[in-house]
């Protein structure tokens, strides 16, 4: 039964080119599409033999309203559709979460002394060079670091460059020619920039020959400092040159794509060829949401090129795209030049597609194999320890303190074998005096389990760091709160501190897992993470132990001496119990100050300290 409001909209739809927006009862856009004929396309969703895509059977019952926008051409519809998907992020459209604005390197040759900059916006302008984009921000920044290390171009931003009156430290290190103070002319600096461009464009052999010739000429002119600089640059370039896969003997720019889809998931692999060499291999994984694989791939392409990035003149695809002509026109408009979308059948371009498809399938299987391996490890852990439940969610607890001071507990959570840091928790011990790890563990577990019982958020497995003693403490906490259906184990090193022993309630003997077992490695990993988390918090508290302390009330004892006292004695209680002679042994504390501290704590000299803690 079609809602009355929707039926009214269906009756009013024009037979024109445009974009339609489907909304739910909360007026939220849940799907955006484009059509050459809005009336025919939108009405097909609500017909028995209409749209056959799987997701429509879930989409249609949720549609409570339909809006549309009429445009003049299919290209305008494609552009508008892409923009609206970015704006509303509808749940039934393909959502390329990996998509981002990629980093490129920008060199503005319109300036006399430009620097190389990292940018995310690609705006074609005369005299401005772009290199990239890089799918990894780390690789972009590493490339910038290498260029700045090899070539003595300026590094400082424009505001600093304009206001300098003397060379910066980079000049002293030989890594800048100091154009900021006129130590190099624009022509010489321009030659240096030519070398930078050669390096970034992959013309490494040509650059090496150029540097060798410059070194030879400088040596003939007895300019040995210049020759040495060329020698060092040449060595750095030769060290940095990496073997690249030659995709074409011609200096061409093209993007090739392949995909692999299975079970509602898709992996797309790109091969980005620049100047005939394979420069980048970005990979993307996303849910198809009921789209047929070719349609999902086309949606991917729209989002891939929808953000600011370099667009080559050739885009190679593995399937025929229904909107290939419109997509090519849109890309050509964005690029400012002709763009062809090709489905090659033979030759070098077809081999690129085959390579991309093989890599897509490999990446897909590797990602899903990792998930299967994690589940298999959890199943092996359940079998080895005789657990009641598959330990999908595990929580591990540890205690950290120094002679009872600043005692803390930690809780780390692993979901399906992976850390879930949103569920990490830290506990400051409230009720335990002195160094009693068992009592501290009981307090932490009691607080956690009480909250878990109230909220219905208990884990499948609780792990405590320690032997039978800590296991008994954990059992007592669970019994006191009547917690059932949660597995419990304790993990401890053996006497020789080599083998790991696992203690399970009701079994006096420890279980020793094989040293190469993945399930053991998982337990060790979660235990080490709990220990790290507890120690980090404990150290943070110890770093400022004197804040708000009674030591603040002692005249003449500033932050440095208070810190030295706590570091030496470990606690205010130990400082109070120390004699004047023991206090004088602390670095930075004179005998006179030691006597004043002792008198302060023992009520001598006018300020009784017996009530301070």
Q: CA end-to-end span of the chain, whole Å? A: 74
95 DSSP assignment: -
Query: Do 254-363 and 393-519 have matching folds?
Result: yes
Res 199: pLDDT: 78
- DSSP secondary structure letter of residue 510: P
Q: How far apart, in whole angstroms, are the C-alpha atoms of residue 43 and residue 15?
A: 11
Alpha-carbon distance 180 to 412, whole Å?
A: 53
Q: Do the beta carbons of residue 557 and residue 593 sit within 8 Å?
A: yes
- Read off φ and ψ for residue 197, nearest 5 degrees: -65, -40
Task: Answer whether 257's CB lies under 8 Å from 270's CB.
Answer: yes
Q: What is the 3-state secondary structure (H, E, C) of 221-233?
A: CCCHHHHHHHHHH
CATH number at 254-363: 3.30.420
Rounded distance between C-alpha atoms, residue 531 and residue 443, angstroms: 17
H/E stretch holding 354: helix 347-385
Residue 206's pLDDT is what?
A: 75
Calculate the average pLDDT of the chain.
Answer: 82
For residue 197, what are the CA distances in angstroms to 105, 137, 207, 514? 11, 20, 9, 56
Three-state helix/strand/coil letters over 7-50: HHHHHHCCCCCEEEEEECCCCCEEEEEEECCHHHHHHHCCCCCC
What is the reported pLDDT for 424?
A: 93
Q: Which residue has the tokens 């403490």?
A: 473
| Spatial distance between the Cα atoms of 518 and 374, rounded to a whole number of angstroms | 9
What CATH topology corresponds to 393-519? Nucleotidyltransferase; domain 5 (3.30.420)
Which H or E run contains 393?
strand 393-402
Report the 10 Å Cβ neighbour count for 272.
23
Question: How many whole angstroms separate alpha carbon 24 and alpha carbon 63?
Answer: 5
User: Can you read off the two tokens belonging to residue 419?
Assistant: 């850390």
The SS3 of residue 257 is strand
Q: What pLDDT does residue 239 have? A: 61
Position 100 scores a pLDDT of: 46
Nearest-CA neighbor of 96 among 272, 399, 409, 307? 307
For residue 244, the model assigns a pLDDT of 38
3-state class (DSSP) for residue 283? strand
Q: Looking at domain 4-88, which CATH architecture does it have?
A: 3-Layer(aba) Sandwich (3.40)
With contact defined as beta carbons under 8 Å apart, do 54 and 263 qualify? no
Burial of 284 from C-beta contacts in 10 A (0-12 / 13-18 / 19+): buried
Task: For residues 127 and 107, give the distance between their C-alpha atoms in angstroms, rounded to a whole number.
Answer: 9
- Give residue 486's pLDDT: 94
pLDDT in tens, 323-357: 889 999 989 888 878 999 999 998 888 988 988 89
Residue 609: what pLDDT? 37
543 Cβ contact list (under 8 Å, min separation 6): none
Residues in the chain predicted with pLDDT less than 50, given as ranges, are: 98-100, 241-249, 545-546, 605-613
Q: What is the Cα–Cα distance from 246 to 277, expressed in whole angstroms?
A: 5
What are the structure tokens assigned to 104, written together?
Answer: 């490129």
In sequence order, what are the beta bridge partners of 271?
Answer: 256
Tokens 């061409």 -> residue = 252
CA 85, chain centre distance (Å): 24
| Tokens 């003595």, located at residue | 152
Q: What is the dotted CATH code of the domain comprising 550-601?
A: 1.10.150.20
Threshold 0.85, pTM exceeds: no
- Distance, CA of 376 to CA of 417 (rounded, Å): 10
* Cα–Cα dist 100/97, whole Å: 8
In angstroms, the CA 288 to CA 268 distance is 11
Could you tell me the residue ranges of all domains in the chain?
4-88, 103-202, 254-363, 393-519, 550-601
Predicted pLDDT of residue 362: 76
3-state secondary structure of 513: coil
Helices (H), 545-590: 559-569, 572-577, 580-584
pLDDT digits (tens, 9 = 90+) for 45-100: 888 766 667 778 888 889 999 988 888 788 878 877 877 887 788 888 877 654 44
């Amino acid at each position: 039964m079609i809602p009355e409001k929707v039926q009214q909209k269906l009756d009013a739809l024009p037979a024109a080119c445009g974009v339609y927006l489907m909304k739910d009862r909360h007026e939220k856009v849940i799907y955006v599409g484009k059509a050459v004929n809005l009336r025919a396309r939108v009405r097909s969703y609500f017909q028995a033999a209409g749209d056959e895509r799987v997701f429509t059977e879930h989409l249609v019952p949720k549609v409570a309203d339909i809006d549309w926008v009429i445009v003049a051409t299919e290209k305008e519809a494609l552009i508008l559709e892409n923009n609206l998907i970015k704006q509303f992020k509808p749940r039934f459209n393909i959502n390329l979460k990996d998509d981002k604005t990629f980093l490129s390197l920008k060199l503005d040759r319109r300036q006399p002394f430009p620097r190389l900059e990292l940018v995310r916006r690609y705006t074609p302008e005369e005299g401005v060079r772009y290199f990239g984009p890089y799918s990894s921000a780390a690789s972009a920044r590493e490339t910038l670091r290498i260029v700045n290390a090899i070539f003595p171009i300026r590094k400082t931003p424009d505001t600093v460059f304009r206001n300098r009156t003397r060379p910066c430290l980079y000049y002293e290190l030989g890594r800048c020619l100091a154009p900021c103070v006129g130590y190099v002319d624009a022509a010489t600096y321009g030659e240096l920039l030519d070398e930078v461009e050669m390096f970034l464009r992959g013309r490494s052999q040509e650059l090496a020959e150029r540097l060798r010739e410059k070194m030879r000429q400088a040596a003939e002119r007895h300019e040995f400092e210049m020759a040495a600089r060329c020698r060092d640059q040449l060595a750095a370039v030769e060290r940095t040159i990496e073997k690249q896969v030659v995709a074409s003997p011609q200096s061409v720019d093209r993007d090739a794509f392949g995909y692999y889809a299975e079970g509602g998931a898709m992996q797309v692999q790109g091969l980005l060829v620049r100047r005939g060499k394979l420069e980048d291999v970005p990979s993307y994984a996303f849910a198809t949401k009921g789209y047929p694989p070719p349609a999902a791939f086309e949606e991917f392409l729209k989002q891939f090129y929808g953000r600011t990035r370099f667009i080559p003149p050739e885009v190679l695809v593995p399937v025929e795209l229904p909107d290939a002509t419109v997509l090519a026109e849109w890309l050509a408009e964005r690029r400012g030049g002709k763009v062809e979308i090709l489905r090659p059948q033979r030759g070098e371009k077809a081999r690129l597609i085959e390579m991309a498809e093989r890599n897509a399938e490999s990446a897909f299987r590797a990602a899903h194999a990792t998930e299967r391996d994690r589940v298999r490890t959890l199943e092996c852990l359940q079998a080895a320890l005789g657990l009641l439940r598959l330990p999908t969610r595990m929580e591990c607890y540890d205690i950290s303190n120094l002679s009872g001071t600043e005692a803390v507990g930690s809780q780390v959570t692993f979901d399906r074998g992976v850390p879930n840091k949103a569920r990490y928790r830290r506990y400051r011990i409230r009720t335990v005096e002195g160094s009693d790890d068992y009592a501290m563990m009981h307090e932490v577990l009691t607080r956690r389990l009480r909250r878990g019982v109230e909220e219905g958020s208990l884990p499948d497995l609780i792990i405590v760091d320690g032997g039978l003693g800590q296991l008994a403490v954990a059992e007592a906490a669970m019994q006191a709160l009547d917690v059932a259906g949660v597995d419990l184990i304790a993990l401890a090193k053996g006497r020789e501190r080599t083998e790991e022993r696992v203690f399970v309630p009701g079994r006096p003997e420890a279980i020793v897992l094989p040293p190469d077992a993945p399930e053991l490695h998982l337990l060790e990993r979660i235990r080490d993470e709990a220990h790290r988390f507890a120690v980090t918090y404990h150290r943070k508290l110890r770093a400022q132990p004197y804040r708000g302390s009674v030591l603040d009330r002692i005249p003449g004892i500033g932050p440095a001496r208070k810190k030295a006292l706590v570091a030496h004695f470990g606690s205010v209680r130990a400082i109070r119990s120390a004699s004047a002679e023991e206090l004088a042994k602390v670095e930075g504390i004179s005998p006179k100050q030691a006597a004043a501290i002792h008198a302060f704590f023992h009520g001598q000299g006018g300020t009784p300290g017996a009530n301070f803690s």
